[in-house]
Amino acid sequence: MRLVRNLIGTPEGAIGLGILVLLALVAIFAPVLSPGDPLRIAARPLLAPFTDPSFPLGTDRLGRDVLAGIIHGTRTSLAVGIAAALAAIAIGLCVGLTAGFAGGLVDEALMRVVDAFQIVPSFLLALAFVSVIGASVPVVVIAIALGAWADPARLTRAQVLSIRERDYVASARVIGMHPVEIALREILPNALPPVLALSAIIVAAAILTEAALSFLGLGDPNVVTWGSMIAEGRNVLRSSPSLSVFPGIALVVTVVAVYLFSEGLTKTIGRGRLVA
């Protein structure tokens, strides 16, 4: 795709995309890179890193392989981040497109709902939702999406309000095209690029939110996550800081890569290069 070539043409996009591709490969091939259950006890507890070739990053307090946890945690973090971003973008597009295209009372009502969700900090909303419903990966995804859909909705509405007054939209009305068809075929494709640029930021925020929830013990206990690994390591932070440092580095690298990818995508879109 031309978009990928143009994205690689920016330093931020190239670096971010390269790291994300590597992380995606690690997530996809996690069962091959680290077979078995990453939560199983594999060796003696608190094995220091770089002392045993079988466990390059050592083991935690229970004797679980730290490297296996980081590898399988990559799959959880990326899956939650991407799923939450897709859900938030889908909800935001539907609400923003409806509000901007319909106008009037529908617009006012939907925007007041958006305002209500934006008043509450997204992390507090996710925290309350998971605390009430219960901790599991689908619940965490829904909780993060509930706190993230308002920004795409407002951005989509702003784009639709600008686009719906253009000549080609007026021409579509004149020839008798159905309003739903106008919204989906004429307006939505042109309102989408800025929202796509925002999606990368939502992914990064979702990964951080999932890690924070896991750190607080509100993640799925049956799934290894970087946040739960950092939380596990804080109990022995002075004697074995690597238990928190290694998953923390993985988390930082992932979030930075997503932000770099977002910067490259924004520059590409800003130059009018969003061509499939």
- Confidence (pTM): 0.86
Among candidate residues 153, 119, 125, the one with its CA nearest the CA of residue 139: 125
**What are the domain boundaries of the chain?**
2-29+65-270
Q: Give the burial class of 232: count Cβ atoms within 10 A of its Cβ; 0-12 exposed, 13-18 middle, 19 or more buried.
A: buried
Per-residue tens of pLDDT for the chain, all 276 residues: 566 677 777 888 899 999 999 999 999 999 999 998 999 998 899 999 999 999 999 999 999 999 999 999 999 999 999 999 999 999 999 999 999 988 889 999 999 999 999 998 999 999 999 999 988 899 999 999 999 999 999 999 999 998 888 888 888 888 888 888 888 888 888 888 888 878 888 999 999 999 999 999 888 888 999 999 999 898 888 889 999 999 999 999 999 999 998 888 877 776 654 444
pLDDT digits (tens, 9 = 90+) for 92-124: 999 999 999 888 899 999 999 999 999 989 999
Other beta carbons less than 10 A from residue 221's beta carbon = 13
Residue 49's SS3 state is coil
End-to-end CA distance of the chain: 6
Which amino acid is located at 5 in the chain? Answer: R
Among candidate residues 269, 271, 267, 274, the one with its CA nearest the CA of residue 12: 267
Residue 232's SS3 state is helix
Residue 254 host element (H or E): helix 242-270
Token representation of residue 97: 């497109």
Q: Looking at the domain that runs over 2-29+65-270, which CATH code has it been given?
A: 1.10.3720.10
C-alpha 220, offset from chain centre: 17
**Side-chain half-sphere exposure of 19, counting CA atoms within 13 A:** 20
Other beta carbons less than 10 A from residue 107's beta carbon = 17
Cα distances from 14 to residues 19, 63, 262, 270, in angstroms, run 9, 38, 11, 17
pLDDT of residue 1: 59
CA distance 238 to 245: 12
